[in-house]
A and B are shown apart, each in its own frame.
Chain A
Amino acid sequence: MSTTTGWLFDLYARGGAMVLWFAAEDGERLRLTDPFEPRVFLGGPAEDVEACLRELGRRGDAAPEGWTERTDFWTGRPRPAASIRVLRAENWTRALSRHAERFPRVAWYNADLPPEQCYCYERDVYPLMSCRVEHEAGRLLSLTPEDDRWAVDYATPPLRTVELEGEGSLLGGRPRLRSLTLSHEGRTMTWDEPEEMLGGLQRALGELDPDVILTSGGDSFLFPVLFALAERTKFPFCPDRDPPTRPREVKTDGRSFFSYGRILYQAPEYALLGRWHLDRKNSFMLSHDGMEGLFEVARLARLPVQRIARRSIGTGISSIQLGMAWREGILVPWKKTAPEAWKSARQLLQSDRGGLVYAPETGVHENVVELDFVAMYPNIMSRFNVSPETVNCPCCRNARVPEIGYTICERRAGLVSRALRPIIEKRVQYKALRAEAARAGDERAHARYHARQDALKWMLVCCFGYLGYRNARFGRIEAHEAVSAWSREIILRTREICEARGWHMLHANVDCVWIVKPGFRDEEIATLSEEIAAGTDLPIALEGIYKWLAFLPSRQVPDRPVPTRYFGAFRDGTIKYRGIECRRSDYPAYIKAAQLVLLEQAAGAADAAGLRAMVPDLLRRVAEWERQLREGEAPMEELVIRQSLSRDPGDYTGHGAQSLAARQAAQAGLNLHAGETLSYILTSAGDHDRSRRVRLARLADADTRPDPGAYIRLLRRAANTVLWPAGVTLDETDPPPRRKTTCARKEHSPTTGHRAGQMDLFEQAGP
C-alpha cells in the first residue's frame, strides 16, 4: 500500500468503476480505479415500479436495492422510493429511455445525472480537491480530503500545458491540415507534411506528457481534422493519457442552440481521458475567466474540468443545487417540472414583467451619484426564500410577494435560496481579497481573485435566468416572476427613501439608481445607502460619483430616452459607458478604438462646459481618422465587422451587409452555422452589383479594398455619440470619399433637437 498527496485531476466512468487521475505533489500522475455504481430512485404506482425493477434486473441494466424513504422535492414530505444501482453507466442513458417508455407511470429521480457527478456527490469529493490517497495495485483504498470547497485560499496543482495550433480548412467536406504546431514553455515544434503530423504529435505528447492541451478551435476544427487524418492514414492516433475503450466518433457538425435569446453555436466535443483538452473557442468559462475561473467553478460545482469548460455556466449552478439535494436525500424528478398554475390575463400582465425602469432624463448632468444593489436578484432569491418549491407551496398562505401576491413557504428554506447564499458570501470574500491585493500591489493575487469572483458572478447572474428557463431542473416560472416583482418593489421603495432625503432620481434601471441633489455632502451618501439597505433588506453600494454623465436619447427617435445608453466620467477620471458603439460586437475595431479615444479625452473635462470646450480637439481627431480611412491607411483587419449569425447562412434573404456576407459564405461552401461568427469587410456599399458590396474576411485578397465612405459613416456615427452632449452632430448621411471635402455639421441642443448649420470640417478642425 502506498500513500500519495496531491490533487484530484480528472475522473470518468469505465466498466462499473470510476477512473480517477491524481496530480501528485511530486509531479507524478497517478491513475486509480474505484468501483462505483450510480444510484437512481424510482417512484409511482408500486406494481409498475416492481415490474420495472424486474425488467431492469433481467436486462442487467441495474441492481435493485429495495424500497427506502426519501424527501419529495415539491412538498418536502417523505415519500417511498425504490433504490437501484446502475450497473453499466456507459449504457445507462439508452437503457433509461427504453425503460421510461415501457413504464410511463414510473417516476424517475436523479436518473440522468452523469456518473462523475453522482460519484462526487456521494463521496463528497470534487475536481481539483487537494487530498491524500492510499492505494494499492492501481486501486484506490481511501481518500482523505485536505481541502474545503468553500475555502477562498486554496492551492491549485502546477500543470504541464502545451498549446496546439493547426492551419488548414474544413472546406468542401474534405478536411485539410497545412501545418501543425505544438508549443511548450517557449519551444515550438512544427510539422508541415501530413504524414509527419500525427506521428510527430504522438511522439511529442509521449515525451512531454502534458496535463493540458490548449487550443483555439480544437473542438470545431483541429481535433476532428486530426482524427479524420488518422482514419484516412490508418494511424493509431491517441492524444489521451488513457486510451478510450471504443473508437471516437468524429464529428464536424455541432448544433446551434438558444441561450438568453441569442443563438450560440456548440461545437462537437473532443474531451480527452486523463488529460484535458481545453478549447478557448468552445469555452465561455475559459475565455472569460481563464483557468482560475474554470477551477473555481469546477470545484464548487463538482464537475470535471473538461465538462464545465464546455457547458453553459448554468450547468454549474444546477450541479451545486443537485449536489445539495443529493446529499440531503431530496428526490430530483427527471423531466418532470411543475406546469404553471392557471392565471388570469390580468395576473399575467402583472406578473410577466421584468425589472423596473424609470426612463432617464436625457441630457448632461453633473455630480450624479450611482448606487447599485449588490447582486440584486441572487440576494432576493436568497434573502426572501424564492425557490421553485417555496413559491405557492401547498402548506402556507401569505401573499408575501409584492404586487402579485404569491405565497412564499414559511416552513422550508428553499433549495435554490440555500444554494445561493454561500456563493454570494464567497464572492464578497473574493472581492475583499481582491481589494486587499490591489492595496498591496500584488498583481497576481489581484488577477486570481478577480477571475474567481467573476466566475461566481456569472453563476449568480444565470441563476435567475435558470429559474425561468424551460429546461432548467430547478426552474419555475412563478419563482422567476416573484424575483422580478420583488425587484420592482425594491426600486419603488428606494425612490421613496431617496426623495424623502431630498434626492432626485434621474434614472433607475432594474438594480441601479442615478440620483442628484444640489450641493450634497459626500457623507450623505453613506447614510442614504444604509437607509436604503435597511428599508429594502438588500445591500446597496456606491458605484461612483460622476463629474458629468450624459444620458443619450434613442438613435431612431431622437426625443425618446432609452435606458442603457449613456456615458460619463467619474471623479477619478475613469469613464463608464453602456449601449454605445464601442461596446457593440458588430462594430469594427478601428471605429471602436476611435470612439474610445474620444471618450477618454472627454473624460478629462470637469463638467459640461469643459466638455463643450473640447469639441474642436475632438473634431480634429475625427478628421485625422477620416483621412486615414480615405487614404487606405487604416489596417484592414481592424475594419473587419464581426457579427454572430442568427440563422444558418443559407437562410438569409435581405440585402443588408450581413445578409450579403452570409450568402457569400453559403456560396463559398463555408460550413458556418447559426451562432457562429461571420466576418466581413464593407467594400463598395452602394454598388449596384450587390455581391460587390461586402467581402467575407476569409475570401479577402490583395485586391480587396475597404469602402472609405462606408467606414467614415460608421466613424461619424460613433463620434456623434460622444459629441452629442456638446450639441454637435457630424453629417452621417453620405460623406463623399474624396480627398478634399466639406461635411455638414449640425448643431443642436441635447434637449431641443436639431438645428442645421454647414461648416467645413477641415477649416474648423484642421491643423
Chain B
Amino acid sequence: MPRRASSAVLGGLARAFLHERELYCVDGANVFDPYAFGQAARMRGLSGEHILDRVFVTRAFTIHQLQAVVEEMLPPRGGEADGPVVAMLGLDHLFREETLRAAERGRVLAEVMKRLRGLERTGTRLLVTYERPPPRERFWKPMLEFGAVRGTVRAGTAKGEFIIEGHGNGTDSSYIQHLPAGGDRLLETLPPGTAGGAEDSLRPPVHEGTTPLGRGGERGPPDSIRRDADGDPP
C-alpha cells in the first residue's frame, strides 16, 4: 500500500492507542513507521517515548511468513480477556506477488482469513487494512467478506475511545478497514480527493531535534544495502 496513505492510517492508529492500550501490528507491506506513531503522540502532548514501548510489530515478507504469524503468533500474549488490538497492515500486499501459483495463494489467503475470523470470535480485536482489489477477482472474496466498512473512510468512535483515520490518494487506492465493532463506529465517509488535509494534520512540520523520536524522515526497505546517515557529525 502506498507509503503516504499508510502513514495516515498509522497516525490514526497511534491516536487511538495513546492511552494505556497496546497495539500489535502485523505488517505485510513493509509500511510500519515508528515516526508516524511518535508524531501522533506529540500532537496529543504526549512523549513519543510513551508510545514506543506500547506498539509492537512483526514484518512478514512472504505469504507463508504471514500465515505463520497469524497461526503461531496471534493472539499476542495468549489472548487474555482485555487483550491488545491487532492491526493487519496491508493484508493483501504479499498475495499480489505475480510469481505465486493461483491455487497456492488462494489456499493461503483462505487459511489466513479463517484464522482471523476464529481470532475475532474468541475476542481478539482486529483491524485490517488493504487496498481495494480489482473487481471481479474471485480470489479476494474471503478478504472482502471480512471487511465490514468499505470505501475511503474516516472513522472513529463517538465516545472517543478508538479513532481510525485513513485514506488513499483519492483515485485508485482506497482503503478498506475492518473495525473492531463494525460499521456503527463509522463517523463519516469522505469523497475521493478531499482527504488530503487529514494526513497533513497528522504530520506537523518536523524541526530537527524536536521530534521525540530523534531524526524524522521516511524509512526505506530494510533489505536494501541502505547506508543510513545516523549519529552526529564529529
Q: Do A and B come from one complex?
A: yes
Contacts of B166 in A (CB 8 A): none
- Shortest Cβ distance from A499 into chain B, in angstroms? 9
CA distance A504 to B229 in the complex (A): 19
Are A477 and B51 neighbours in the complex by a CB distance under 8 Å? Answer: no
- Shortest Cβ distance from A185 into chain B, in angstroms? 42
- Shortest Cβ distance from A281 into chain B, in angstroms? 23
Interface membership of A353, Cβ < 8 A: yes
Contacts of B59 in A (CB 8 A): 340, 477
Query: Of the 9-residue stretches A15-23, A271-279, A292-300, A465-473, which lies at the interface with chain B?
Result: A465-473
CA distance A361 to B228 in the complex (A): 17
Are B227 and A344 neighbours in the complex by a CB distance under 8 Å? Answer: no
Pick from A101, A344, A361, A481: contact of B53, CB below 8 A. A344
Interface membership of A608, Cβ < 8 A: no
Are B65 and A339 neighbours in the complex by a CB distance under 8 Å? Answer: yes
Are B52 and A356 neighbours in the complex by a CB distance under 8 Å? Answer: no
Interface membership of B205, Cβ < 8 A: no
Mark interface residues in A321-360 (1 if CB within 8 Å of B CB, else 0): 0000000000000011111111111101100111111110
Interface membership of B78, Cβ < 8 A: no
- CB within 8 Å for A348 and B230 given contacts A97-B101, A339-B60, A470-B223: no
Chain A contact residues, majority secondary structure? mixed
Closest to B77 in A: A342
Mark interface residues in B55-68 (1 if CB within 8 Å of A CB, else 0): 11111111011101
CA distance A465 to B54 in the complex (A): 30
Are A469 and B223 neighbours in the complex by a CB distance under 8 Å? Answer: yes
Are B228 and A470 neighbours in the complex by a CB distance under 8 Å? Answer: no
Of B24, B64, B220, B227, most A-chain CB atoms within 10 Å? B227
Closest to A472 in B: B223
CA distance A146 to B46 in the complex (A): 71
Are B233 and A561 neighbours in the complex by a CB distance under 8 Å? Answer: yes
Contacts of A504 in B (CB 8 A): 234
CA distance A745 to B82 in the complex (A): 70
- CB within 8 Å for A349 and B56 given contacts A342-B76, A465-B223: no
CA distance A261 to B101 in the complex (A): 24
Interface membership of B222, Cβ < 8 A: yes
Are A104 and B34 neighbours in the complex by a CB distance under 8 Å? Answer: no
Interface membership of B175, Cβ < 8 A: no
CB within 8 Å: A-B pair count: 128
Contacts of B53 in A (CB 8 A): 344-346
Interfacial residues, chain B to chain A (CB-CB below 8 A): 24, 32, 34, 37, 49, 51-62, 64-66, 68-69, 72-73, 76, 98, 101, 103-104, 107, 111, 213-214, 219-231, 233-234
Q: Provide 20 A-B residue pairs closer than 8 Å at the C-beta atoms, listed in order of the A residue.
A: A255-B98, A260-B224, A338-B65, A339-B69, A339-B72, A339-B73, A342-B56, A344-B52, A345-B55, A346-B49, A349-B213, A353-B230, A354-B228, A355-B227, A357-B228, A361-B234, A461-B225, A469-B223, A471-B62, A561-B233
Contacts of A4 in B (CB 8 A): none
CA distance A581 to B54 in the complex (A): 46
Contacts of B73 in A (CB 8 A): 339, 342
- Shortest Cβ distance from A655 into chain B, in angstroms? 20
CA distance A461 to B225 in the complex (A): 9
Query: Which 5 A/B pairs are nearest by Cβ-Cβ distance?
Result: A470-B61, A346-B52, A468-B223, A345-B34, A354-B228
Interface membership of A509, Cβ < 8 A: yes
Closest to B230 in A: A353
Closest to B103 in A: A101
- CB within 8 Å for A358 and B233 given contacts A101-B103, A345-B34: yes
Closest to A349 in B: B34
CA distance A505 to B231 in the complex (A): 14
Closest to B36 in A: A345
Contacts of B220 in A (CB 8 A): 261
CA distance A337 to B227 in the complex (A): 26
- Shortest Cβ distance from B80 into chain A, in angstroms? 15
Pick from A104, A346, A348, A564: contact of B107, CB below 8 A. A104
Are A355 and B56 neighbours in the complex by a CB distance under 8 Å? Answer: no
